[in-house]
Structure 1
């Protein structure tokens, strides 16, 4: 395995309508992934079958429905490559995403992980060039050294109706360990907006997860200071 080999973890739950395009965006990378792990989180649709049709570097791990955080953790624990990236099953990578991040990590050995900017687009729309652009700390935007992933540990579910905030919590725990994360200024991913998805709108119950992330961080700081 080469020193810049990377694996991709894709947690997926009932993602049959979008998973094929997500996987194809990884397969179209200018630097190929050594392993693509689709963690089927107890889907009741054709999610697992769609992923299994690819074969080759695409592997399917099946588990009972436990949420995106648990599915991500299972995927990360099955990575042997020196780098690992993530992708939400309804999002898309642009072709040079992995190459750009691996180049930056190769020239910045002090950096433990990289994120990127993403552009939003509405599901079903052919317009993918004019949506809002923002920095992103989601699975879709990340590329980390696997050693950093091991140091942080499992991805935890912060609660809330849609489990928002699990990656924010995970990244924050890494920062508290002294890990260094950076964000490339380039748009390297597309974030699909679907009603009812993690990316869609505002929901007071769903967004409670962000408050839990902040509370947990403060509690860890207090524990360290005592």
Structure 2
């Protein structure tokens, strides 16, 4: 199996980034490196990460958005595979082993995703049984070959802080790269007040509309 870099973009994540990093350390296949990109946090996120271990690479940038932070992590990573995790989510222990095996089986695959299950802190470390896992076309489940980043370019942050992965994965597919979804539930998505996964507003919708509009414009440009 090829090695991977684990990349966490983080903004004001001091309360839960320790859990995210612990879920990486619990993997049955360990990363070549863990990279945390502090996106202008004001709550001591970087100090928490430093206290966890000096083997973690910490990058600092002014607040530019989760897409820009992920891109910054990609740029300094050294492994041939890139795995990403939102700072308030968790990987299940066999996540990387399952995804790395699939990539090893199919050389033509560029990226592998997995199902994800929501949980609330009151449920403890695992999601409650009432929650149903869903296909996770998300940062938290993504494992992708480096060439996707080098050929497609940066992840762009749309208005409202949402839709960055929708836009980037659309560009990846348009570039001819194959992506697949595993049926296994391999990650947990934290639902908390104020998180992007728990709120719906006009700004958020604007991000997804941006992604859809950009896809239409690229298609039209390709037809000219």
Structure 1 length-normalised TM = 0.95
Contact 1:34–1:57 (Cα < 8 Å) also in 2: no
CA RMSD of aligned residues (A): 1.2
Taking the aligned partners of 2:65 and 2:199, their CA distance within structure 1 comes to 20
Q: CA offset at residue 63 of structure 1?
A: 1.0
1:67 to 65, 89, 108: 65
Taking the aligned partners of 1:56 and 1:48, their CA distance within structure 2 comes to 12
1:112 to 110, 118, 121: 110
Structure 1 residue runs without a partner (length 5+): none
Q: Cα distance 1:143–1:198, how it changes in 2: closer, same or farther (>3 A)?
A: same
User: How many residues are matched?
Assistant: 222
Contact 1:51–1:59 (Cα < 8 Å) also in 2: no
**Stretch moving more, 17-26 or 121-130:** 121-130
Taking the aligned partners of 2:52 and 2:119, their CA distance within structure 1 comes to 26
Q: Does 1:210 align with 2:208?
A: yes
Q: CA offset at residue 51 of structure 1?
A: 1.0
Aligned to 1:156: 156
Which structure: greater helix fraction?
2
Aligned to 1:85: 83
Residue by residue, what CA displacement relative to the aligned partner does 1:68-117 show, whole Å, maximum 9, x if unpaired?
A: 11111100111110101000000000000010000000000010000100
Aligned to 1:128: 127
Taking the aligned partners of 2:103 and 2:85, their CA distance within structure 1 comes to 19
